[in-house]
Amino acid sequence: MNQPDQILDYLRQRLPGYPFDPELDRLFVDELIEDFNHLNILEQTKAFRWYHHNQPSHKNLRLALRRWLSRGRPQPDLTPTASRTKPSTTQTGTAPPPTKNSHGAA
The domain locations on the chain are 4-70
Handedness of CA 44, 45, 46, 49 (dihedral sign): positive
pLDDT digits (tens, 9 = 90+) for 5-61: 999 999 999 999 999 999 999 999 999 999 999 999 999 999 999 998 888 778 899
Tell me what pLDDT residue 78 has: 46
Res. 105: pLDDT tops 50: yes
- Are 39 and 74 within 8 A, CB to CB? yes
How many residues does this entry show for the chain?
106
Q: For residue 75, count other CB atoms closer than 10 A to its CB.
A: 12
